[in-house]
Amino acid sequence: MHSYDIPKHSTAILGGLILLIWYAATLLQRKWRQNCFVRENQCKPPSQLPSKLLGLDIILQTIAAAKQRRVLELGLSRFQHYGNTLKFRNLTKTMITTREPQNIKTILSLRFKDYSLGDRIQTFGPLLGHGIFTTDGEHWAQSRSMVRSGFSKDRIAHLDIFEELMGDLFELIPTDGSTVDLQDLFFCYTMDSATDFLFGHSVRALKKYGHNPGDETGQDFGSAFNYAQDSIATRVRMGPLKFLHRDRKAQDANRRCHELAEEFVDKALSYRQTLNENGSAGDDTSAEKSKSLFLHKLAQQTGDRTRIRDELMNVLLAGRDTTASLLSNMFFVLAKKPEIWAKLQGEIAVLEGRAPTYDQLRNLTYLKYCMNESLRLHPVVPVNARLAVVDTVLPVGGGRDGQSPVFVPKGTTVRYSLYSMHRREDFYGPDAQEYRPERWEKLRMGWEYLPFNGGPRICVGQQYALTEAAYVTVRLAQKFPILESRDPGSWKENLTLTLCSHNGCHVSLQHA
């Protein structure tokens, strides 16, 4: 050992000690600040979900429930047993889950800035990239303003494409009473309408459904899209263990989805070339251009291929699966309830068989109740989550009675379940688990009913989706007075990013 090693060692040890003290002081200071915050806000801890092995048992229970199509039921039973706001271990982290409207309002609106989407980009990124569904902050604000500009009332009230696609849909429904899976058809229908609405060009998946099952751009895209979403849902359920999940088929599915989107990226970029220096279209004012398409709004903002592709994937996901899921979940139930189908027929008789206008659709109240009730029992986005980016507070859920505020440390994921909130008996009565559209005659719901989210990230497509679902239901009810279920079982969940029926929607539709 050299003599000059001693001071060198001492310096290193001293440096290490200072670092350690600084780290401990920071921790203590943080703890002290948190304690003050807890005292000032009178927070109490919420009930704890019992768990073993750092919550590994909770993850395994959820994976097992997913195999039995019972994830949502499992979540509901936990709330019913332990309380409306719970904390639980998720290996390295403590998480909070809630079905309290006041808490959900706080996360999504009152304290919007205290939360982000968390690691959604890592889970959803391989399919969706960076778009309105996966980003926060400036990127999201820019996406949202681009997307919103494509949803003017004029565009939503334009129903021609819905009628045109009804023709394609009717062609695929047997009229001799044999069984048809409406769910498949609804997914094709909304794929067609969404691509027309957003990109100005329908991929005509319905047409291809019967004639050319392997077609890349229509139906086959649908199955790749479904597979890619399934894989994302599995990763979400695996929580911190998601790094163990490897799925080459999902990578292939993502690639195929991106390939379809490229066709629209090309369209956007060639439109961009026609823009003059002011950013508006040149002399060529074709009908497509005058429609203020989302695709064109995008092209006006950016020439970045990846950005355009990602935004397209995001809104396509939003537009296709959601409305199709609403329709198939609702028809699954309606097919088992002939008295409701008959009541709907009574309401639409006023149209005397004619296609409805936008305003006529809005006046069909019983139809609205049927859709509300479907979105209540089977919300298309049934569970969601946000990540606290600062120390923050939820107004209720703490203490024995669950009425005290709850402290949410920075870095905590807060999940909220609309599925479980929509089934609360204190809001909806003892028959909360039943499909009964009539309940909406008296209900005036606020944050207790939230199928379209709330606050700054409220669904952009709500009116469009409700108009489309209402239109399809009216036209089917006008054509087929008889609707019967061909599925002896009860509805089972198919939970990916959205919620539809695991067994599809097998029905028979007949003329009188």
Q: Which residues bind ligand HEM (CB under 6 A)?
A: 132-133, 144, 147, 194, 315, 318-319, 322-323, 326, 380-381, 384, 451-453, 457, 459-461, 464-465
Burial of 319 (0-12, 13-18, 19+ CB in 10 A): buried
Contact 222, 190 (CB under 8 A): no
Contact 374, 451 (CB under 8 A): no
What size, in residues, is the chain? 512
Single out the residue of 355, 14, 305, 311 nearest to residue 150, CA to CA.
311
**SS3 (DSSP) at 116:** strand
Q: How far is the CB of 380 from ligand HEM (least distance, A)?
A: 4
Q: What kind and span of H or E run contains 273? A: helix 248-273
Half-sphere exposure of 212 toward its Cβ, with a 13 Å CA cutoff? 9
Q: How far is the CB of 307 from ligand HEM (least distance, A)?
A: 15
Nearer to ligand HEM, 137 or 430 (CB): 137
All residues at 6 or more sequence positions from 60 whose CB lies less than 8 Å from its CB, including other chains = none
Q: How far is the CB of 180 from ligand HEM (least distance, A)?
A: 22
Sign of the alpha-carbon dihedral angle for 119, 124, 130, 135 = negative
Backbone φ and ψ for 410, nearest 5 degrees, come out as -50, 135
Nearer to ligand HEM, 240 or 455 (CB): 455
Locate the DSSP E strands across 44-84: 47-48
Q: How far is the CB of 15 from ligand HEM (least distance, A)?
A: 46
Q: How far is the CB of 460 from ligand HEM (least distance, A)?
A: 4
Q: How far is the CB of 318 from ligand HEM (least distance, A)?
A: 3
Q: Tell me the residue nearest to ligand HEM as measured from the CB.
A: 461
Sign of the alpha-carbon dihedral angle for 80, 82, 83, 84 = negative
Nearer to ligand HEM, 38 or 381 (CB): 381
Nearer to ligand HEM, 412 or 498 (CB): 498
Nearer to ligand HEM, 142 or 234 (CB): 142
- CA dist 85 and 98 (Å) reads 4
Nearer to ligand HEM, 281 or 381 (CB): 381
Nearer to ligand HEM, 89 or 309 (CB): 309
Instruction: Retrieve residue 3's tokens.
Output: 């003599």
Q: How far is the CB of 194 from ligand HEM (least distance, A)?
A: 6
Nearer to ligand HEM, 103 or 384 (CB): 384
Instruction: Retrieve residue 224's tokens.
Output: 């790749």
Q: How far is the CB of 147 from ligand HEM (least distance, A)?
A: 5
